Amino acid sequence: MTLNMTALPQFKMMSREQCEAIHRASLEILRRTGVRIYHEEALELLRQSDAAMLDGDRVRFQPGLVEWAIRQAPSRVSLCRRGSDEVLAPLEGRIVSFGTGSDCLTYQDPRTGERRPFVSADLVDCYHVVDALPELQFCMSMGIPFDLGANPYREQFALMLKHTTKPIVFVCDDRADCEAIVAMAAAAAGGIEKLRLNPSLLLYSEPSSPLRHSKTAVAKLLYMAEQGLPLVHSPAPVQGGTAPVTLGGALAMANAEILSGLVIHQLKRAGAPMIYGSGMHHLDMKTTISLYTCPEFVLARVVVAEMGRFYGMPTWGYAGDANSCVLDEQAAVESTFSIMAALLAGNNLTHDIGYLESGKTTSPELVVLCDEIISMLRRFMGGISLDESSMAMNAIHQVGPDNDFLTSQHTFEHFRRLWRPTLFNRLGGEEWERAGSKLVGERVKEKTISIMEEHRPEPLPDGTREEIDHILKRGR
């Protein structure tokens, strides 16, 4: 028997019995209350199952049908580098992959400090930042540019394909968008079969709380199942608004929304890849703002991760976001809190790195700062090795009580394993003053602008760019 000689930080919030209690509550919601499904093909799939009761568009589910769907869903999904079989985001177990968020209206410009609407050039700058940072494993659209018309989703995706090689989590308006986006991704992958084998994209879709699946959301869900490509169909119930104000009630309802979407998805194509996720927030009753990082929000992320593992599915989470309107001390504290929780909880696909103002503003500077925070906390999560080399018994004997370890061979062999920052200060006061007395915010700004101006992602082949442009032109 081999003993694991690494001591790791460990965190667990719910017992199996508590997970089963939430599961039973959700099954009762689906059996007794049901959900509304506004899509005829999905309703027909449910009619044919003989395990659902339909009353117009209102559907109630027998527990056995829900548990059948859970058993079909795969426990592992891999997201690959563009046009490659290299896995950048292995979604399984407690492995955590981080990426940005989608579709903010406001951009925090690092060059001017101005908060303003996005334009497409800002997206390109942001995608270069994501492509360059080692602790980000995937990219999302980050902003809605006002210069790309009323439906920018295809254009956003094309820009991401051209300006990062990292996997893309995308959002879109309808099935037609979804088809065009998959066609572009397939062009970059070398064909649809290669894209299915080495998926470099994942759809983010949502039910409509409370307990509804819209026609457009279900159409996208069915299309991704048909193609055998991954998605997350994640409700975003607002506690006190579109969900019970209590975490337990909101979780039971959100879980019912996820599971009902999973049933439709697996009836369309059993074994198609789906990520388990829910974005529960609560409504601040004083401001009516739907809050991001706060204790209840972070607790909800932990519970969602544990419920996903209970079902044996990869999980979806949030981190690196803040309620602060600017990159300040509050933003740094809130982002660190949520990143630490994501790593401890083991949320596999963790998005929204760089969000400010409760999800309204994207700050590329916060993205850069979070890259440093993630690096530091990943080292913490790496724990302490207790193997023979790390225990250093021979080195201790050789140095003894009369010498020191500064010139020890053991020190030379191991000191590079200690974590070192790229942005945080470790100089003494006088040295720091001689170096310019820069605050971390200044160093973050300099690094962000440097990446935007100097980093150039690996380009797409000319023929692939032309094919993507043709798909866009045809859609226009």
Domain limits of the chain? 72-381, 384-417
Neighbour tally for 465: CB within 10 Å:
16
Q: Is 295 exposed, middle or buried (0-12, 13-18, 19+ CB in 10 A)?
A: exposed
Nearest to 204 by CA among 236, 180, 228: 236
Contacts of 432 (CB under 8 A, 6+ apart): 425
Q: What is the CATH number of domain 72-381?
A: 3.20.20.480
Distance from C-alpha of 187 to C-alpha of 182, rounded to nearest angstrom:
9
Which residues, 6+ apart, have CB-to-CB distance to 225 below 8 Å?
A: 265, 266, 268, 269, 272, 274
Cα end-to-end span (Å), the chain: 62
Q: Phi first, then psi: what are they for 78, rounded to 5°? A: -115, 130
> What's the 3-state SS for the chain?
CCCCCEECCCCCCCCHHHHHHHHHHHHHHHHHHCEEECCHHHHHHHHHHCCEEEECCEEEECHHHHHHHHHHCCCCEEEECCCCCCEEEEECCCCCEEEECCCECEEECCCCCCEEEECHHHHHHHHHHHHHCCCCCEECCCECEHHHCCCCHHHHHHHHHHHCCCCEEECCCCHHHHHHHHHHHHHHHCCHHHHHHCCCEEEEECCECCCEECHHHHHHHHHHHHHCCCEEECCCCEECCCECCCHHHHHHHHHHHHHHHHHHHHHHCCCCCEEECCCCEEECCCCCCECCCCHHHHHHHHHHHHHHHHHCCCEEEECCCCCCCCCCHHHHHHHHHHHHHHHHHCCCEEEEECEEHHHCEECHHHHHHHHHHHHHHHHHHCCEECCHHHHCHHHHHHHCCCCCCCCCHHHHHHHHHCCCCCCCCCCCHHHHHHCCCCCHHHHHHHHHHHHHHHCCCCCCCHHHHHHHHHHHHHHC
Please identify every stretch of the chain with a pLDDT value under 70, giving residue numbers as ranges: 1-4
Cα gap 10→72, rounded to integer Å? 29
For the whole model, what pTM was predicted? 0.95
Interhelix angle for 295-311 vs 247-268, to 10°?
40
d(CA 286, CA 282): 12
State the pLDDT at residue 1. 44
- Among 367, 215, 304, residue whose Cα is nearest residue 14: 304
The angle formed by the CA atoms of residues 207, 211 and 215, to the nearest 5 degrees, is 45
Amino acid at 472: L
